[in-house]
Amino acid sequence: MRHLSLLACGVLLFGLTACGGDSGESTDGADSQTVESNDVRLELPTTVTAGSPFEVTWEGPDASNDYISIAEEGADADTYANYTYTRNGTPLTVRPPDTPGAYEVRYVAAENDKVLARAPLTVEDPSADLDAPSEIGAGAPVEISWDGPDNPNDYLSIAETGMDDDTYANSTYTRNGNPLTVRAPDTPGAYEVRYVMAQSDRVIARSDLKVTSVSASFDVSDTLMVDTPVEIDWEGPDNANDYLSIAERGTPDDSRVNYTYTRNGNPVSIRTPQRPGQYELRYVMAQSDRVIARKPLVVLPLQARLRAPDSVAAGTGLEVSWIGPNGPDDFIAVATPEAAATDYESRALSRAGTPASVFAPSTPGTYELRYVWAEEDSVLTATPLTVSQE
85 lies in some domain? yes
Q: Mapping DSSP to helix (H, G, I), strand (E, B) and coil, where does residue 358 land?
A: strand
The reported pLDDT for the residue numbered 327 is: 85
CATH code of 51's domain: 2.60.40
Domain that holds residue 40: 9-124
3 lies in some domain? no
> Residues 228, 286: one domain?
yes
Distance between CA 282 and CA 262 in Å, rounded? 12
The reported pLDDT for the residue numbered 375 is: 87
Half-sphere exposure of 285 (CA within 13 A, CB side): 22
> Residues 205, 223: one domain?
no
201 lies in some domain? yes
CATH code of 253's domain: 2.60.40.10
Distance between CA 137 and CA 184 in Å, rounded? 8
The reported pLDDT for the residue numbered 390 is: 73
2 lies in some domain? no
> Residues 13, 118: one domain?
yes
Pick the range with the lowest mean pLDDT from 29-43, 249-263, 333-347: 29-43
The reported pLDDT for the residue numbered 8 is: 31
Confidence of residue 388 (pLDDT cuts 50, 70, 90): very high
Distance between CA 336 and CA 199 in Å, rounded? 80
| Number of neighbouring beta carbons within 10 Å of residue 349 | 15
Query: Taking Cα atoms as reference points, which of 83, 23, 90 lies closest to residue 61?
Result: 90
105 lies in some domain? yes
Average pLDDT over residues 112-130: 96
Is the pLDDT at 290 greater than 90? The verdict is yes
The reported pLDDT for the residue numbered 328 is: 84
Confidence of residue 50 (pLDDT cuts 50, 70, 90): very high
Q: How many structural domains does the chain have?
A: 4
Average pLDDT over residues 168-189: 98
pLDDT single digits (tens) 222-239: 999 999 889 999 999 999
Distance between CA 284 and CA 386 in Å, rounded? 50
Q: Which helix (H) or strand (E) holds 359?
A: strand 356-359
> Residues 283, 193: one domain?
no
pLDDT single digits (tens) 313-336: 999 999 999 999 888 899 999 999
The reported pLDDT for the residue numbered 5 is: 36
User: Is the separation of the CB atoms in 111 and 140 below 8 Å?
Assistant: no
Domain boundary among 212, 240, 264: 212
The reported pLDDT for the residue numbered 22 is: 34
Query: Taking Cα atoms as reference points, which of 134, 138, 267, 129 lies closest to residue 206?
Result: 129
> Residues 46, 92: one domain?
yes
Domain boundary among 273, 300, 327: 300
> Residues 166, 248: one domain?
no
